[in-house]
Structures are given as structure tokens and as C-alpha cells.
A and B are shown apart, each in its own frame.
Chain A
Amino acid sequence: MKLYIADGNPHCIKVLAALELAGVKCDTEVVSHEEKVVPHFTHPVLPVLLLPDGQHLFSPNSICQYLFDISGQNATDATNQWLEWEATNLQPAVLQSLHMVALQGKHVEAAAVMKEPLNWLELSLSKKNTPFLTAEAVSVADIVLWAALYPLLSDSGFDAGELRFVRGWFERVGGLEACQTSVRRVLQGKGVEALKTFLQKLPATQTQRRDSPTNANEAEDGEHVMTVEEIEEAAQVWSEGLKASPAVSERKHPVLPQEGKRNVLLTSALPYVNNVPHLGNIIGCVLSADVFARYGRLRGWNLLYICGTDEYGTATENKAREEGLTPQEICDKYHAVHADIYQWFQIDFDFFGRTTTERQTEIAQDIFWRLHERGFLLEDTVEQLRCESCQRFLADRFVEGECPHCRYPEARGDQCDKCGRLINAVELRNPQCKVCKETPVIRSSKHLFLNLPKVINTPVFYVWFDAPIGYLSITANYTDQWEKWWKNPQQVELYNFMAKDNVPFHSVVFPCSLLGAQDNYTLVNHLIATEYLNYEDTKFSKSRGVGVFGDMAKDTGIPSDVWRFYLLYLRPEGQDSAFSWSDMALKNNSELLNNLGNFINRAGMFVSKFFDGRVPEMLLNEEDKRLIAQVRWELKQYIQLLDKVRIRDALKCILNISRHGNQYIQVNEPWKKIKGGDGDRRRAGTVTGVSVNVACLLSVVLEPYMPSVSHTIRQQLQAPPTCVSTMLQNTGTFICTLPAGHCIGTVSPLFQKLENEQIEALRKRFGGQQTPSSSSAAVETKPSSGAAQDADPERAKQLTALVAEQGNKVRVLKAQKAEKSVVDKEVETLLDLKKQLSLAEGKNPAAQKGKKK
């Protein structure tokens, strides 16, 4: 064991005193301030105790604690607390104060800095009737605090004030022989002067107090500071209210580009037909694109959103063999599965088609011949694995073998799932044909390549030539006039949404094919890609049954809007993110229930309860105007962000708006003021009126994210339909859309709490215990996956509540003569809930029959 100290370093006083007092034998070496004793620190730190096991103790307090510990005096709550206080409160003040005394001669300021900690110490000592801080005898706490204070309290120029108890205690501890020796050794009779060198070298951060802690998070999304003009302008715009705004134009199919409008063509990567999409696929393309599509339509753009299933390729063939169906039957079946899932997620495509159509063949051949005629194709041979017993070349996904890099035994032909490296199938060790398990041989085969610069001479041409052409053919199946979208780069802006693995094809191969065809094709203007979404720290895996797949989301009983919210909240922009059940519950309970839902519900309830359902008169004061300006600023941010497709960030603006609203209600307490005099009641009216208008704005900005909730809010508030497009016009205008006297409807809660037990059950259910066979069965016979469960009283209770709530919602919708499609959708949800309920109660006859077997 060895102790390193430096002369004139105040931290060494406590360490030397503790060493002496504990009576521990230890070598001591004096080094310079600059000596780097601890190897991992960039800046030199002293004193340091080198432990017998080779570790370094670099915290003076921990060194003292250790020395007491080995001499048999263990730490207690009381000594711990004093040591923590010394490190976090006293020490920063002491260093700052010493700096002032020794280097700047500012004695008065130095005393002021010490006032608070010294008073706290005085108060604590006065309540004690023991001579020392924690007990009758001296403890590590006394040594540490005394040593910290010694240089200041022993300085004649430092005026600490009265402090009777501190003085008494300070003398008692200082009287110990160990303390006097240590002081002599470190300060060498020179007092504060001896510390000068040490203090000069201290980094500024340690000598300047930071009274207002700056949390890295808070500092970044800090409040927007508003000018007086800004506030007045916001209030002015707000008061103007809804004017004769343009009628909401109904969507008429087919949507075609129009002169003088912003024409946006939006595609989402075509999901492959042989698999059920998982949450990562959904957020990666269709859901992200849906938010943007809904937003664009609200902004009044002339927008067409198309997508469809990609149905060609060897995987379809494989799947068909697995399930004993023809490829066409597989495609038909899974196309319907996909369409169902997206409908449940409320993905509002203008058209959801498929690639196995005549149009696809026509367009692909046309582009192919055009490329061929112009000499843009070339033939080359490639080494590929061929299975002799199956009599065919093996596509990457038909081979498995040992990874040449990490030796993982189940690496695929294109990538290793373990180390993540890309693999060329011929490099696999011990390759196996996945169909017959025979060892394939390497053979050459001829392939066509797009003749581009070497970088992308890629053998995947045969897949990727025709897949993106699906966008064109699907549009052609939607309208005969498809060329108005696809051969119209002057008028049309093209947005492609996809996950990161698709970027090379959409940014290089596909545009090159279209360019090479020389037929005035519309090329991509904005390529929107996401990173990957992981599932609870691992990958989604259909074969292992890990993760939530599109068709299972609805069986969780969690509403589609909540799924949308959480997935969008997690949207992997910038880097991969991870889905986590507990985080989902947390976000639902904190953001949706306590923040957003709570605010909207309170605003509505105040109008119903205190003002007979009529929006009260609003007389704006400074505070109200400030809130309006804050909300307006967030709205403008929201629009700026969504214009750039920063979907996740824009969602934060929505939550900020309701946070501002909650604070506003909390500070103004309309529920108390309503019981007061005339002035107070008027104030309650204004606060309620402004709040309910903020709630109405929230319904507008929520529309792209949570369409059902957004409609429900507007129905509850009976908001005029024009409010949506009006407030999202230009850079965003927050106006009073519910004027005084406006009658609102029945207000009811929007969100439900997700309970821990429910979430735990879901985590177990989707955690990978399912066997591969049962998980693939779940796809075919969706309802039976619920039927397989036994009666579950807990779940039944939750479902009863959900059914009651949904029933209410449907009644309200019908009473308000809502659009048939909206009502139908809600009725469908209701029926589904009822079905789940009867299953959970074990009533379903089919389920019981199953059990008897």
C-alpha cells in the first residue's frame, strides 16, 4: 500500500490525518501536482492511495473511509451522509472560497460563499448533544469536514461569523495530535498561501459554483424565449377566429396531378408477400409514410399514396412448397393478411395493390427492352452454389452454412445473424441446401447486369430490376392515367419511404433503370429511410416467435392508435431503437394518459361541468396571451419538422403543447376560481375557454399520428370541420376555433392505463416461448390463437371495460350522424372486443370444444 501526496494540496490534510488516526502503516511519497499517478485519468489527481491489490483510490473521502474501515470503524448512515454532503455541498464552496481568498483577496465574497454550508453545519451541531458529528468519539466524518474547513477557518482574514457550535467542534477535532501533524505537513506553517499553486491549477469548473444545475436534457429542448411583439401577434391572430375558410375538399379517386398544386407522389417500400410484417416493417415504411400522407392531405397537397405486396421471387416458391399451396394461392392468401393488418393500423393508402399483374409484366418488359436497345445491359458469369439433387441454383436464402468470419453455424447465404457481416454465399463453410440438406457445388451461371460504374455491378439485378417497377404497375392498376404521375418530373415530387437496407436500390439501381430507359420518368426527390427497430434488445424473429407481428398487435387489446403513437415515438431516426413493453406502458401512462389525455379531458370537463357545455367568454390577459404564443410557436415547429419528414420530433411538439396546457390549468386553478366572486369566475371562464381551444388544436395536430383519437376529440368538442385545414395552413395559425357560446358534446376519457400485470403477460407471450410451428399456425387461424387461451378473469375485466367504452363511442358517433365508414370501423372494433371478451370468459363454444379433445 502506498500513499501519494503533494505539498500544498488541501485534500491531503484529511488523508494524512486519517492515516495517522487509524494507525495504519503505509509508505508515503510526495510528488508534484503534475504527476499522473492514476493511469486512466487525463488530468492529474491527488492524493491517491495505491491499494494492495493494485487498484487506485483517487477520492480523498474514499481513502479516509477505507483507512477507518480497515482499522475496524465501519461506515454508518450518519457518516455516509456527512461524507456525501461534504463532497457535493461543502467542497465546491470551499474551493471557490479558497480561490477568492488566496488568489483574489476577496474576503467578503469568500465568506458569503461559505455562509450557507456553515449555517447548515451550525444548525446540525446545535441539535446534537454529542461532542462530535455522529457520536461521542471522533469519526471519519469529523476528520473529513474538519480538514475541508481548516484552511479557511484557521485563516485570520476569513470572517466566518458567530457559529458557536462549529467553533467548539472545530477546536475539539483540531486538538487531536493526528490533525496537527497533518496540517503542519501539508501547509508547512504558511496557511492559505501554501495552497496557491494548487488553486491556480484548478480547472475553472471547480472554482465557479453552478447553482442552477444544467441538465443536459433540459438545456437542449429549453423553452423558447418570446418577444412582446411575438406574443401580441399571436393573440391578435388567435382572436380573429375561423373566417370563411375554404371548404374541405373531398378526396376523389383517381387522384391525378393538378396544375398549380403541390403534387406529391408517395410510395412505401413494397412488403414481401410471404411474411407477416412485424412492428419494425410497419414503422419503417407504411406507417411513416401514412403519417406524412395524412399530414400532406391536411396541408392541402394533391397527394397520392400507393403501396402493395411484392409477390415475385424464390421465397414465394419456397413458402408455397412449405404450405402445400401454389405460389399464386400463397400470394392471394398473404396479400389479404397484409391488407388486413394495414387496415387495422389505419394506414390510409389511396391504393394497396400487388405486383403479380399484367401491368407489371408490360411495364417491366418495356423498361427492359428500352435498356437493352440502348446497350445498357451486359452479360457476365458469376459463381453460384448449385444443388445437384434439387437441380437448381440456390438463391442466398436457400443456403445455410458456417460463417467464414465468426464460425456461427447457421449463417445465411447473404449475411450472418451473429456477427452481422455480409457474406458471399460461395464463402460459406460447409454450405447446405435448405430444401434437401445436401451439399451444393459451386457452378458458374450467366447473369445480366446493369452497365453502371463498377460500384454497383451487382448480381441482385434479377430481383431488383422488377421490384421497384411494382410502384409503377400498382399505380397503373389504380388508374389508366398512371403516366401523369410517373412520367411527369416537372409537376410531381416523388417521396420513397423505406428501411435502410433498401437505400442502395432506391437511390441507385431503380433511378438508373428509369434514367436508362430514357422515357421522361419521374425520379425520386426525397428518399426517407429509417434505421432498424429492435425488439426488447434482440431482433424480431418469426422463426423463433420473438416479437410482435402485425396480425398479433390487435390481439393485445391495445388500441391501434396507441400502437401508432408508441411506434412513431420510437421511430428509428438517426439510429436503431428498441421496442420495449415496459417503455410502452410508461409512455402510454405518462405521455398519453397523464399528459395529453388528462389535459384534453380536463379542458372539456370544465366546459361541461362549470359552463353547461358552452364555451365561456374569454378576456385575454398577459398570461393567456403568453400561452397562446407558446402554443403557436410549437405549432410552427411542428409544421417545419413535418415538412422535413421529421416525424418523431414533430410528435414531441404535440406533447409540449399539452404540457404547456396542463401547466396553465394548474397555475390558474379554474376549479377553485369558479367558486369565487365575479372576477374570479370570469377568470375561470377565460382559462377554460383558452384551454378547450388548445385541446381543439391538439386534435388537429394529432390527426396524422392518431387518427381515431383525433376524430374522437373533435366529436367530443363538436369542432367545426374546417378547423383542421385552416390551422395547418402556411406556417401554422393557432386560432380560436371554438368561440364563446359554442356548444360542445359529451366528454369522456381518451386513454386507458396499461397495468403492469397486463404488460408482463404480453412480454411473456411475445418473448419467444412460442414454438416455430405454433407461431406460423397463428398466422393462418388468427381467431384461434385467442381461443387457445383458457378463461382469464383479469383479462375479462379489462375487456368488459373496453367493450363498455367502445360501445359508448359507437353510440356517440351514431348520435352525431358521423360518416358511415367511421362508424363501421368503430363497430368492427366493438365486435372484435366482444369476441375477445367471450373468449376470455371461456364462453366461446368453439374454444370449449377444443378443450374437450
Chain B
Amino acid sequence: MALRELSSLEKFLGLKKPNKYSTQGGKKVPVLQNNNGPALIGLVTIASHLIREAKRPELLGDNAEQRAVVQQWLEHRITRLDNCSKEEINIILKDLNRYLEDKVYLAGNVFTLADILMYYGIHHIVVELAIQEKERYLNVTRWFDHIQHYPGVRHHLPPVVVLRNRVYPSGNH
């Protein structure tokens, strides 16, 4: 799974020649064999490395504050979202929904790597949501729809349909 994300990210960044990856351990942690240095291990590490390779540092944040916010959502993705249990999913969605209430992207007003990797990581959850749940987590759904339509991001994932008009009356949450 992580390998497909990385290859989609490479396409998004327009990197010419695709890298060769392997995986490590039972959790299939991605490994990038690097010609001019030791191997890089870990999804976030490799993804950040690719961004620098592609000379798109703004995707990691333009200033120290933004960089830290991006970093913490990347960490959130690999520590909380990955392998979370069914019970945790609801809390994660609820918290994220509140966080996104006044934000366009995870780092505020700019699109970053955090949006890409959170989108990849949350896709399998959103795809299973019923219409009613999508409406309950309206901000997550809105953000998700926005990112899946962001040019060049979606690649390996099927699109998820999001209704533009609400079916269930608001006010019960």
C-alpha cells in the first residue's frame, strides 16, 4: 500500500524516473535504496525526501510553523490513522472534522504533503462511509473531495462520490 502511495506521489511531483522500493518487516515499511547514501526507511521520511528531490519545498511548509504543522499531521497519519481499530475511526474522524471546521487544508490555506498522505491514508475509511456518515463528518468530506480533485493527486485510488446537496436535515449534531 505504502509503495503505491509513493509511486503516486512520484507521479504527482513529476519525477522522471521511478525509484525502486522494497519493504521491511511484517508491517511492510517502505525502504528506498539510495545510490549516494544509506537506504531511507519509512513512508514519511521517503516522501519528504522525494519532495526535496523534486525541489518543491513549499509542500513541506514555507516557514517553521507550517513545517511543524505538516510534520505533525504526517506523524498523525502513520501513528494514529494506520492500523487504527474500528472504534478509533470514529474518534479520529470526529476530531479531524472539528479541526477542519475553519481550514481549507490541513496546514491552513496552503496545500501540502500532509494533505496528500492523509488523503491516501484515510481513503479506505471514507470509501466505506454511508451517505449519512459523510454528512456527519461534513468538513472531512469537503476536504477529502477537494484533495481527490486536486490535480494529479488521486492516481491509484478510485474516486469517492460526494453529494453536493445534503440528504439528511442538519441540526441533529
Asked if B99 and A40 make an inter-chain contact with CB atoms under 8 angstroms apart, the answer reads yes
From B42, B69, B86, B159, give the contact of A537 (CB < 8 A): B159
From A52, A55, A213, give the contact of B82 (CB < 8 A): A213
B40-73 with Cβ < 8 A to chain A: 40-45, 48-49, 64-65, 67-69, 71-72
A418 to chain B, nearest CB (A): 8
Asked if A77 and B68 make an inter-chain contact with CB atoms under 8 angstroms apart, the answer reads no
B97 to chain A, nearest CB (A): 8
Asked if A214 and B83 make an inter-chain contact with CB atoms under 8 angstroms apart, the answer reads yes
From B40, B83, B91, B96, give the contact of A213 (CB < 8 A): B83
Tally of contact residues, A, Cβ under 8 A: 53
Asked if A216 and B68 make an inter-chain contact with CB atoms under 8 angstroms apart, the answer reads no
* Stretch with Cβ within 8 A of B (4 or more), from A82-90, A312-320, A789-797, A816-824: A82-90
What residues on B are CB-neighbors of A53 within 8 Å? 65
What residues on A are CB-neighbors of B29 within 8 Å? 88
Asked if A80 and B95 make an inter-chain contact with CB atoms under 8 angstroms apart, the answer reads no
A69-92: CB near B (< 8 Å → 1, else 0) gives 110000101001101110110010
Known contacts A40-B98, A216-B125; A81/B72 CB under 8 A: no
For the complex, what is the distance from the CA of A88 to the CA of B24, rounded to whole Å? 13
The residue in A42, A58, A77, A583 that gathers the most chain B C-beta atoms within 10 A of its C-beta is: A77
Known contacts A214-B83, A216-B86, A420-B164; A58/B72 CB under 8 A: yes
Known contacts A41-B95, A42-B91, A583-B158; A77/B83 CB under 8 A: no
What residues on B are CB-neighbors of A75 within 8 Å? 48, 67, 71
For the complex, what is the distance from the CA of A421 to the CA of B166, rounded to whole Å? 10
From B44, B83, B161, give the contact of A215 (CB < 8 A): B83
From B71, B108, B149, give the contact of A59 (CB < 8 A): B71
Say yes or no for A580: interface residue by CB 8 A criterion: yes
Say yes or no for A63: interface residue by CB 8 A criterion: yes
From A62, A580, A586, give the contact of B75 (CB < 8 A): A62
A55-67: CB near B (< 8 Å → 1, else 0) gives 1011101110110
Say yes or no for B131: interface residue by CB 8 A criterion: yes
For the complex, what is the distance from the CA of A279 to the CA of B158, rounded to whole Å? 18
- Closest B residue to A531 by CB, please name it: B161
For the complex, what is the distance from the CA of A59 to the CA of B71, rounded to whole Å? 9
For the complex, what is the distance from the CA of A713 to the CA of B67, rounded to whole Å? 56
Say yes or no for A25: interface residue by CB 8 A criterion: no
B97-113 with Cβ < 8 A to chain A: 98-99, 101, 108
Say yes or no for A419: interface residue by CB 8 A criterion: yes
From A43, A69, A85, A217, give the contact of B64 (CB < 8 A): A69
Known contacts A81-B41, A216-B128; A576/B163 CB under 8 A: yes
Asked if A77 and B45 make an inter-chain contact with CB atoms under 8 angstroms apart, the answer reads yes
Say yes or no for A534: interface residue by CB 8 A criterion: yes
Asked if A65 and B68 make an inter-chain contact with CB atoms under 8 angstroms apart, the answer reads yes
Asked if B79 and A70 make an inter-chain contact with CB atoms under 8 angstroms apart, the answer reads no
Say yes or no for A618: interface residue by CB 8 A criterion: no
Say yes or no for B78: interface residue by CB 8 A criterion: yes
For the complex, what is the distance from the CA of A580 to the CA of B76, rounded to whole Å? 30
Known contacts A69-B64, A81-B45; A57/B72 CB under 8 A: yes
B150-173: CB near A (< 8 Å → 1, else 0) gives 000001101101011100000000
B11-48 with Cβ < 8 A to chain A: 26-27, 29, 37, 40-45, 48
A388-435 with Cβ < 8 A to chain B: 419-421
A56 to chain B, nearest CB (A): 9
From B68, B75, B86, B94, give the contact of A87 (CB < 8 A): B75
B139 to chain A, nearest CB (A): 10
For the complex, what is the distance from the CA of A614 to the CA of B53, rounded to whole Å? 56
For the complex, what is the distance from the CA of A77 to the CA of B49, rounded to whole Å? 6
Known contacts A419-B165, A421-B165, A576-B161; A66/B42 CB under 8 A: no
- Closest A residue to B134 by CB, please name it: A575
Known contacts A62-B71, A84-B44, A212-B26; A55/B158 CB under 8 A: no
What residues on B are CB-neighbors of A214 within 8 Å? 83, 85
What residues on A are CB-neighbors of B42 within 8 Å? 80-81, 84-85, 88
Asked if B68 and A51 make an inter-chain contact with CB atoms under 8 angstroms apart, the answer reads yes
Asked if A42 and B130 make an inter-chain contact with CB atoms under 8 angstroms apart, the answer reads no
What residues on A are CB-neighbors of B159 within 8 Å? 536-537, 578, 580, 583
Known contacts A205-B88, A214-B85; A87/B45 CB under 8 A: no
What residues on A are CB-neighbors of B48 within 8 Å? 75, 77, 80
- Closest B residue to A416 by CB, please name it: B165
Say yes or no for A764: interface residue by CB 8 A criterion: no
From B26, B64, B131, give the contact of A211 (CB < 8 A): B26
What residues on A are CB-neighbors of B68 within 8 Å? 51, 57, 62-63, 65-66, 69
A181-214 with Cβ < 8 A to chain B: 205, 210-214
For the complex, what is the distance from the CA of A40 to the CA of B137, rounded to whole Å? 13
From A55, A85, A215, give the contact of B41 (CB < 8 A): A85
What residues on B are CB-neighbors of A577 within 8 Å? 161
Asked if B88 and A39 make an inter-chain contact with CB atoms under 8 angstroms apart, the answer reads no
A532-582 with Cβ < 8 A to chain B: 534, 536-537, 574-578, 580, 582
From A51, A205, A419, give the contact of B85 (CB < 8 A): A205
What residues on A are CB-neighbors of B26 within 8 Å? 211-213
The residue in B89, B96, B130, B165 that gathers the most chain A C-beta atoms within 10 A of its C-beta is: B165
Asked if B65 and A81 make an inter-chain contact with CB atoms under 8 angstroms apart, the answer reads no
What residues on B are CB-neighbors of A59 within 8 Å? 71-72, 75-76
What residues on A are CB-neighbors of B45 within 8 Å? 77, 80-81, 84
Asked if A57 and B95 make an inter-chain contact with CB atoms under 8 angstroms apart, the answer reads no
What residues on B are CB-neighbors of A534 within 8 Å? 161
Asked if B88 and A66 make an inter-chain contact with CB atoms under 8 angstroms apart, the answer reads no
What residues on A are CB-neighbors of B41 within 8 Å? 81, 84-85
Known contacts A87-B78, A575-B130; A69/B40 CB under 8 A: no
B89 to chain A, nearest CB (A): 8
22 contacts between A and B (CB under 8 A): A42-B91, A52-B65, A59-B75, A61-B71, A62-B71, A65-B67, A65-B68, A66-B64, A66-B67, A75-B71, A77-B40, A77-B49, A80-B45, A83-B75, A84-B75, A213-B82, A214-B83, A420-B165, A576-B163, A578-B158, A580-B158, A580-B159
Told that A42-B91, A419-B164 touch, could you supply 7 new A-B pairs with CB distance under 8 A?
A62-B69, A62-B71, A66-B64, A84-B41, A213-B82, A216-B128, A420-B163
Closest 5 CB pairs between A and B? A62-B72, A66-B68, A59-B72, A40-B98, A420-B165
